[in-house]
Structure 1
Amino acid sequence: MENSLYSYHVFLFPFKWQHQELDPEADLDAKFNLSDFRKKIGAPWIRKEYKLDSFERFNEFDYFYGHVREILYDLDIDLSDESTQGNKELINHFEYQLPEEECELHYCIQLSDETRFFLRIDSILLNIYSTGTAILSFHLRNFTYRDPGDILKINQFGRRLYPPFYDLESGSAIFGTKDRTKSESALNKTKAYELPDKIWLGAKGTSPNPNSLLVEDFSGYLTIETIKNGPFRIPAFVKGLFEKDFLKEYSSVNKSRGNTIKGKGILIHPILDSRMFVVSWFADDTLINALIAANKGEKSVKKLEEWWYKYVFVDGGSMTCQDQEMREQLLKTATYNRWIDWGTVFGISRYSLVMLTSTGVDSFLIRHLQTMYYKMAELCQVQRATILNYADEVTHVSHLLLEKKQRQRTLEKIATLYKKYLVFINKIYFKEVTAQEQGIEMYDLLQQQMRIPEDVFSLDKQIEELHNYSSFEKNEHNNDLLTKITIIGAIFLPLGFVASLMDWQVLEDDFLSGPGILAPFWMRIGVVIFISVAMVLLMDAVTSFKFNIKNHRYRMLLRVLFYAVFFGLGIYLILSFK
């Protein structure tokens, strides 16, 4: 059993999902139905509700505001109240059942130079949300590697889901010739700098089993046929955690209308790109002392400062920013150093939340990173993923606006999307999540680095425009309906008016007498209907001409005159009947 914990790592994989058996045009409520997901996920995943069954859980639970907990936790019945009745249909929490043998399952990373890292899996968690997003997270403990360079490599290579790019031969770019990159070498340099050679889940110190469903060597990306529908293929160390064919890529399904391939699984697609979000803690006295010295304006070792930049921005090789002034500005924005003199500093970027401490750090800080700070990072990932997912839905609905036959369906989808957006604003997106001062500051920094407020504002404008369009369309429909009712009323108005004016006794025998349609009653009715229709049609036709009459009162006077003439004619004809 290991004695010293050198670092702690969490890789978060945010993705969007929907049920595969549904038509791609299905309503959002049907696409993202959590009850159906619960029924299908199966072993070895077990749904676990959040219970206050330990002092540790109390500390974490009490850290957040009550209204925030509804999206953070799948609440047990003892923690539910009237304000959290919708919790079960907002988030479902699942945990992967690890083998009972202690330390058997590890997160294994092999680099192109045969270097290997084995990190003990603490837990594998899955949170599914009714917004059509989900977060799969690997929680890992490092009891073996203490070199700062190894920590950078673990974060850089361990977070990859698929290749970010191919290494193309240079001739085509220089001479404008056809690219002749060979498939067997297309990922050689990519694996040297950005992509691991393999990632698998297995026992510590062992080689990957080629027959295992949990080994990803990225060899599938060397064949164009396997990526023609899109760059993403679910990595084996993710897909192998579920029953066969439970997870499938969006791109593997033909979405063309009338030719949808249906199944019983779940379609997923990464919300961001080929990288997972990293939460990490590492303890090193030399590094933290260098940062303390730099913070006090003392001369520091440049190489150690560079390491901090790489740790925050998850660079495994060379720094991705070579301009010193820009690098200093980026680090200043990304560094949270409230407790730096106490040997603790945080770094927050768009893809990471990291903590560097001295080796004598109190354990409660590590626990805070594993619980409160991790939950804040997870919440921000859910927010960011939901924004991007809804932005994609807005684009899809906007496309439907061009199809007149889809009018009613489009309005329904806009209404559902607007309802989902209101749920997001009120139950997922928060300006503040805790009353603790340092929590407020770190959450603000996470929001700022991920540009979430700006993205929410942009999405709000898009949703508002769609909602306004929907309201306009509904008003137009109601106006058309009122117009039709008005026309019908105008047609039958003379009949009612004349009948009341002449005091017809329509139920008297002598009034109804007569052979067939020649009865006085029916003849009078026929005349009135004919006059009514003719009056409306002729009046509309005449008043539609352009008389260059700009004053609206003259147009109204003209219409009144037509009504008077036709009423007089109608009464005259009716009185002429004997």
Structure 2
Amino acid sequence: MIKKENTLFLLGGHDLEMLTIKKLLEEKGFTVIDHELSWGAKLSSYTEVLKEHQDKTIYGVELIEDIAIPKNYHAIDHHNEQVDKASSLFQVLECLELKPTREHKLISANDVGHIEAMKCLGATAEEIKSIRQQERTIQGITAKDELQAQKESEAVVEKNGISIIETTLDAFSPIVDNYEKRPLLVYSQKSFTYYGDIAFLKEKYKKQIENKEAYHSRGYFGFDTAYVGLVTPNILVKEIVEVKQKNIISYHNFMFPFRFDKIVESFEDRHEFYKKHSFDKRVKIDESFKNSLEKNKWKYEPFEVKNNLDYNEIVYFHDFVKDTLFNTAKVFDEGATSYYFEKKLNNEATFELKVKGKEPYVLKLEGVNLRLFDTGVGILSFEVENYDYYQIEDILKINDYGRRVYPQFLGANFSTEDTKKSFLPESITVNGIEERFCDLYKEIKLAKYIIEILGDSFSTDTSNEDKYFLQPIIDDRMFVLSWYGNDAFVTCTKENIENDNWYKYVFVDGNDITVQDTSMHKELIEKATYKRWNKYGTFFGITRYSFVCLSQNSGFTRDDLPLPHMKTMYFQMVSLLLAQRATLLRFSDEITAISDVKGGENPSSENISVLYKNYLRFVNKLYFKEVTAQDQGIELYDKAIDILNIKRDVEDLREEIGTLNGYAFLEQEREEKKEMTKLSKLGTYLIPPTLVAGFFGMNVFGKESLNVESTGWLASVILLTVVSPFIVNFFINEKKKTDKGKK
């Protein structure tokens, strides 16, 4: 802890954070000099103090360094070039060796990233309202100002996706606190602040930042009053509107794993159908299947290295994994492990999501692809990009509501209204195909966009012969692969990975957090989070139904990593993991079907043998203990294998299928033994005639030896010889029955 006697603190512009710092320092007995400055306070305001106290250690809190810096001076700030540091309040707490309270955390988040950062911290509506009200009180906001802010907000203008509000107020808080849409630009003739993704502004106004004419933290960007007066705000507005390009804010890949079986003949009972027709008859990806898919606008896409991303993607994996994931053959190969198809979309294709009580989310549908595996499972993927919705609650809702393929539960009278109040969307429209979830659900009905996009090669009608019977293999949710770039969210998560919004993002909770026990929350999020790049502000989260990434939003994170990695190698890795999990579930169902015998019926040895052959192929061609030589890839893959319980399930399946195969082997041995027993009995019955023939010779029936006496005697001997084994066998069986009765 720093010494009070030799230390002096100089305070910058007044706001809630600054006054909280002042109170803390005074309570601990430190000397604090406060000139009651406003926002944009400069170090030169304390020139005389610096000269007078050259013998002391001086800390300046959020003061723009517009004069030469004395050797005994230390800056405490988190703006501009110091944006990666903790908040000024947290830096002071560290100097005092104090732990932050809940209120300190909220005040810090408010100062670093405004309401968005407080939401990232999991602040309640009441907490946010309280903090913002304190902030407005310090700024001297009156009831008249609040009314003026409301009036000016109604005159909002939208240009190039930016909400623009001109105000006569000195402080912007009554506008910003009550206008939720982002990005938002608020300006007056003296001040100018932009709220939202500020990466493009930091790039454009580098020089102004270096010259202390512009400032920024995480989630907002503004200009010094003198600079605004010099350039004029209207010119700044025009510059920003013209330079702003829509950068991707978040990426979402919804992945639907399913199983497929060729409907060789119509059926009602699935398990009876599986027993009657072997695995190989039901799962066959051949030329006719490919042609059927092509009639439904699916195009088989062999993998080619066309750019640096393609190269990075394929060299990332071990050679034996490439053979499974990448169709490198120019022509369709019926012996491949997997097959990749794409559906061509126009540039205007959208993924539209309507959630009760919200404006529709209209997102760019970047791609639709289909991967089929020779284990009879497939993955249908929807690549979605978000350029318009910045706030964390929007991202959470897109992930949670966008993954639904049928209602998880129903209300009274088979209603979906209660479900839609929880997590079922009002509707999902994919490339013009709308699902409103309004059917009379008495069984699982897949969403229309799933059925129609897959096409009529697949069917949920078991009487539709020669089509492929389509079944979801997990539940009502698609798997979510997602990237989100948000600087304020990153800061909050760097400080504490146990914040509610990180948990919600990882576990895909669109509304309330689904764990209400502190110790369980901590345990689950620790297990799910991969923190190798914590200091760089990049986090990965893995659960049984999600693989997500959070990073800052910049040209580097969008164009270099981690977003390109999420779209390529991590997408491939997740596809492999999902195929493994889906195959394990499918094989378990196959074993259940084969074992489901009635009465004296025995499982089909042929079906067991075919299934065992395919299991061995799965273990050698689809289940890998390592997929890449890259450390991060090894660690992420191991983490996913553990969380998805794949290793455990492979061991369980090995035991199940081994037992079943052992049973089939024993049955085969028993059948062979039964046949051998029949042959042995036949041999036994033939022994007496053989002995007679051997004793008398084959000429015993010659003409010279045939007379009445010899013939009668010989006939008696032969008859006795033939009948005697049956008599002996009769008494042996009677003896067994008697012994059994005594027991």
**What is the TM-score of this pair, normalised by structure 1?**
0.78
1:395 aligns with 2:592: yes
Distance (whole Å) between structure 1 residues aligned to residue 705 and residue 649 of structure 2: 74
Which structure ranks higher in relative contact order (CA pairs < 8 Å, sequence separation ≥ 6)?
Answer: 1
Deviation at 1:55, TM superposition (A): 3.1
Pairing partner for 2:730 from 515, 538, 541: 541
TM-aligned CA distance change 1:513 to 1:155, over 3 Å: same
Aligned to 1:555: none
- 1:95 partner letter: E
SS at match of 1:233: coil
- TM superposition shift of 1:355: 0.4
| Cα deviation, residue 496, structure 1 | 2.4
Q: What is the distance in 2 between the residues matched to 1:389 and 1:76?
A: 28
Structure 1 residues 72-151: aligned runs within 5 Å: 72-77=325-330, 87-88=335-336, 90-99=337-346, 102=347, 104-151=348-395
Q: CA deviation at 1:314?
A: 0.1
Match for residue 283 of structure 1 among 485, 490, 497:
485
Q: Show the counterpart of 1:530.
A: 719
Q: Distance in 2 between matches of 1:150 and 1:366?
A: 19
Distance in 1 (alpha carbons) for counterparts of 2:395 and 2:728: 85
| 1:562 matched residue in structure 2 | none
By how many angstroms is 1:532 displaced? 4.2
In the alignment, does 2:264 pair up with 1:37?
Answer: no
Aligned length: 483
Structure 1 129/523 Cα, relative in aligned 2: closer, same or farther at 3 Å? Answer: farther
Q: 1:492 aligns with which of 686, 698, 708?
A: 686
Structure 1 residue 479 and structure 2 residue 673: aligned?
yes
Residue 459 (structure 2) aligns with: 248
Superposed, which structure 2 residues align to 1:142-541 within 5 Å?
A: 142-167=386-411, 181-182=412-413, 186-202=415-431, 214-220=433-439, 223=440, 227-228=441-442, 230=443, 232-243=444-455, 245-249=456-460, 252-253=461-462, 261-294=463-496, 305-360=499-554, 361-362=556-557, 363-400=560-597, 402-404=598-600, 407=602, 410-505=604-699, 510=703, 530-541=719-730
CA contact (8 A) 1:492 1:532 kept: no
My pick for the range that moved more, 69-78 or 147-156, is 69-78
Q: Is the alpha carbon distance of 1:521 and 1:149 closer, same or farther for their aligned partners in structure 2, counting shifts above 3 Å?
A: farther
Instruction: Show CA shifts across 1:169-223 (max 9, x none).
Output: xxxxxxxxxxxx355xx22232122111010124xxxxxxxxx6x1100111xx2
1:57-68 superposed matches below 5 A:
57-68=310-321
How far apart, in 1, do the equivalents of 2:713 and 2:323 lie?
Answer: 73
SS of 2:596 mapped into structure 1: helix
- Distance change (3 Å), C-alpha of 1:498 and 1:108: same
- 1:12 is matched with which residue? 255
Q: Deviations over 1:234-277 (max 9, x none)?
A: 2111122244x44322xx43xxxxxxx24342211111110000
Given that 1:75 and 1:87 are in contact with CA atoms closer than 8 Å, whether structure 2 keeps it comes out as no
Structure 2 counterpart SS, 1:356: strand
Paired with 1:91 and 1:13, the residues of 2 have a C-alpha distance of: 16
Change (3 A) 1:512 1:378: farther
Q: Which letter does structure 1 place at the counterpart of 2:292?
A: K
RMSD: 2.8
Q: Structure 2 stretches of 5 or more lacking a match?
A: 1-159, 161-244, 267-272
**Quick one: distance in 1 between partners of 2:717 and 2:667?**
36
Distance 2:427 2:645 in 1: 33
Q: Structure 1 residues 521 and 17, CA, compared in 2 at 3 Å: closer, same or farther?
A: farther
* Post-superposition offset of 1:529: 5.8
- In the TM superposition, residue 320 of structure 1 has moved relative to its aligned partner by 0.3
Query: What's the secondary structure of 1:218's corresponding residue?
Result: coil
Which amino acid is the alignment partner of residue 375 of structure 1?
A: Q
- Residue 285 of structure 1 deviates from its aligned partner by 1.0
Distance in 2, Cα, partners of 1:545 & 1:132: 55
Q: Residues 58 and 217 of structure 1: is their aligned pair in 2 closer, same or farther, counting only changes over 3 Å? A: same
- Residues 483 and 116 of structure 1: CA distance in aligned 2, closer, same or farther (over 3 Å): same
Aligned-pair CA distance for 1:403: 4.6
Contact 2:349 2:366 in 1 (8 A): no
- Match for residue 52 of structure 1 among 305, 312, 320: 305
The amino acid of 2:329's aligned partner reads D
Q: Which runs of 5+ in 1 are unaligned?
A: 168-180, 203-211, 254-260, 296-301, 551-578
Whether the 8 Å contact between 1:28 and 1:416 is mirrored in structure 2 is: yes
Identity %: 31
Cα offset, 1:62, TM superposition: 1.5
Q: CA deviation at 1:497?
A: 2.9
Q: Distance in 1 between matches of 2:529 and 2:706?
A: 99
